[in-house]
Amino acid sequence: MQNEKYPRSYRMKLFKAMATVAGLTGISRIGGFVRDVMTANILGAGPVADAFFVALKLPNFFRKVTAEGAFSVSFVPKYAEVLEKDGQERAELFASRTFSMMLLWLSGLTLFFMAIMPVVIYLIAPGFQDDPERYDLAVILSRITFPYLLLMSLTALLGGVMNAHDKFGPFAFAPTLFNLSLIVALLCTGYFENAGYAMSWGVFAAGVLQFLYLWISARRAGLKITLTKPVMSDNIKAVFRRMGPGLIGAGVLQINLFADLMIASFLQEGSISYLYYADRLNQLPLGVIGIAVGTALLPMLTREMAANNRDEARKLFNRALEVCLLLGLPAACGLLIIPHLLIQALFEHGAFTASDTYLTGYVLIGYAVGLPAYIGVKVLSSTFWAQGDTKTPVKIAIMTTSANIILGLTLIQFIGVMGITLATGLTGWMQYFLLKARVSPGMTYDTRLKTVFPKILLAVAAMAVFLAGGAYLLSGINEILRIVVLMTGAMAVYAGAILGLNVIKPADFKRYFRRSR
């Protein structure tokens, strides 16, 4: 019998939690686009931009692989398990000890990497060796941004604790502070040597702001995470055991992007910048949908597994996949059909040229190919992590990461920088199907999912026809107006098809989103 501490309709809670995370993440992404438009206008795609993007990607890579990747998928299920079995007091003690352990370990790691940063830049961007301007600047800027790893790792722990208590808002809102910090930094560029320095200090400030915000939010929620003597308890040992394989398994996308960075450093100047701007558009649906589903699903699925409610866990799994299909497929469709128009409208201003738009658009197509797969991977991975299994995803990650590097190195010989992202997109599907083949026998597709999937494909096809035809017929008008008309019309066509095919009924919205009595 389900634990009475939790409401009877977990599926409704899942949709509400996803809506909360998606809404706040969407606000953050809008701020991110404002930031990116300003960045493109001021930095463009030159050597300073390349150096800054390496400095930004370095701590972000470690953060997403460790703090928000391996650590989160190991810590959150364990915390939820302790909370379910031993109560809040024991769970808070476990979180406090983990917090103190992370602070001690990551402080040393941060100082170490800052000291050897010239070697690090040589390893992650070896192509910079032939360009002293980019290499020296990347070393300096990376030393400024790297403490962001420590600050965001602690922030991720606090966010994981709050998510386990179904308080998803603060951690979902935190990235908005990052975007605001960088926007302010761009506005203050005149006070620094160049925009790269300004934005690097903005990244550092963003880490401080996000940590303080989550700390205050946790205290207001009555969650007492305090500094204590680090003790390697059995629960913490379990987290670290799971983190070992999870360092690769949970961060496969980031590892792929990291490999992309290394390969791009050998290509023409600006290639790293093209990857960055294309990834920003790709990250909008991936972040809003993927993060929302993964963040909301993992603690709920863990609690259902711990309570041995297998049937409810299967329903959560299927409804999460359904949301991924409903939102991920049309997002990928838009990025595939009108990529150049999107890039032109958003970034082709100031230092960002028409040539940059042309190349970035093709790079975006490669990412869009794998977008639905990577969103689906979030759901499939959660089923393994909820059961404490981080070994299966890591085995699959090794295969897909190796395939991505080999395929990327092959494709760049024929299609240049686009080959990097097309390889990433294709190996995303490889990862999805390999995970699906190994998922728990209980996590099978149910009748509803099998019924709605072909209908969603028909709705996406209708949207694709509208976008392609509309882009051609409206080619003579202003690109901003064209984007507004096309996106508004595409959403109307897709929504009409979804409702007309009975994928979603109006009554569903009332059932999923009405306020519980």
Contact indicator for 73, 381 with CB cutoff of 8 Å: yes
Coil, strand or helix: which one is 377?
Answer: helix
Give tens-digit pLDDT for 69-81.
667 767 777 787 7
What would the 3-class secondary structure string for 7-60 be? Answer: CCCHHHHHHHHHHHHHHHHHHHHHHHHHHHHHHHHHCCCCHHHHHHHHHHHHHH
- Kindly list the distances between the CA atom of residue 372 and the CA atoms of 168, 281, 342, 455, in Å, as whole numbers in the listed order: 24, 14, 19, 16
388: closest CA among 298, 474, 323? Answer: 298
* Whole-number pLDDT of residue 6: 39
* Whole-number pLDDT of residue 367: 92
Give tens-digit pLDDT for 405-458.
899 999 999 998 899 999 989 999 998 999 988 887 777 888 888 999 999 999
Coil, strand or helix: which one is 442?
Answer: coil
Read off the pLDDT of each residue in 370-399 and give the average, rounded to a whole number.
82
* Whole-number pLDDT of residue 4: 38
User: Over 60: is that where the pLDDT of 517 sits?
Assistant: no
Q: Enumerate the domain spans of the chain.
A: 10-445, 447-517
Q: What is the DSSP string of 265-293?
A: TTSSTTHHHHHHHHHHHHHHHIIIIIIHH
User: Over 80: is that where the pLDDT of 474 sits?
Assistant: yes
**Separation between Cα atoms, residue 289 and residue 509, nearest integer Å:** 18
Give tens-digit pLDDT for 110-139.
999 899 998 888 887 777 777 777 888 889
Torsion angle (degrees, nearest 10) of CA 373, 260, 386, 318: -10
**Separation between Cα atoms, residue 335 and residue 326, nearest integer Å:** 15
Read off the pLDDT of each residue in 476-504 and give the average, rounded to a whole number.
88
- Kindly list the distances between the CA atom of residue 196 and the CA atoms of 31, 48, 199, 424, 455, in Å, as whole numbers in the listed order: 19, 6, 5, 28, 47
| Region at 269 (left for phi over 0; alpha for psi -120 to 50; beta for the rest) | beta
Average pLDDT, the chain: 81
**Separation between Cα atoms, residue 487 and residue 481, nearest integer Å:** 10
Give tens-digit pLDDT for 204-246.
999 999 999 999 998 888 888 888 877 787 777 777 776 766 5
* Whole-number pLDDT of residue 294: 67
Confidence of residue 490 (pLDDT cuts 50, 70, 90): very high
User: Over 80: is that where the pLDDT of 296 sits?
Assistant: no
Contact indicator for 300, 316 with CB cutoff of 8 Å: yes
* Whole-number pLDDT of residue 317: 84
Q: Which residue has the higher pLDDT, 72 or 95?
A: 95
Confidence of residue 1 (pLDDT cuts 50, 70, 90): very low
Q: Which residues contact 132 (CB under 8 A, 6 or more apart)?
A: none
* Whole-number pLDDT of residue 84: 76
* Whole-number pLDDT of residue 45: 62
Residues in the chain: 517
Read off the pLDDT of each residue in 266-281 and give the average, rounded to a whole number.
83
Hunting for tokens 């790293």 — which residue is that? 272
* Whole-number pLDDT of residue 153: 86
User: Over 70: is that where the pLDDT of 5 sits?
Assistant: no
Contact indicator for 174, 214 with CB cutoff of 8 Å: yes
Confidence of residue 461 (pLDDT cuts 50, 70, 90): very high
Retrieve residue 187's tokens.
């506005």
Read off the pLDDT of each residue in 346-353 and give the average, rounded to a whole number.
79
| Region at 308 (left for phi over 0; alpha for psi -120 to 50; beta for the rest) | left
User: Over 60: is that where the pLDDT of 510 sits?
Assistant: no
* Whole-number pLDDT of residue 334: 93
Sign of torsion over alpha carbons 433, 308, 451, 10: negative
- Structure letter (DSSP) for residue 230: -
Q: Which residue has the higher pLDDT, 239 or 377?
A: 377
Q: How many CB atoms lie within 10 A of CB 444?
A: 13
* Whole-number pLDDT of residue 333: 94
* Whole-number pLDDT of residue 255: 64
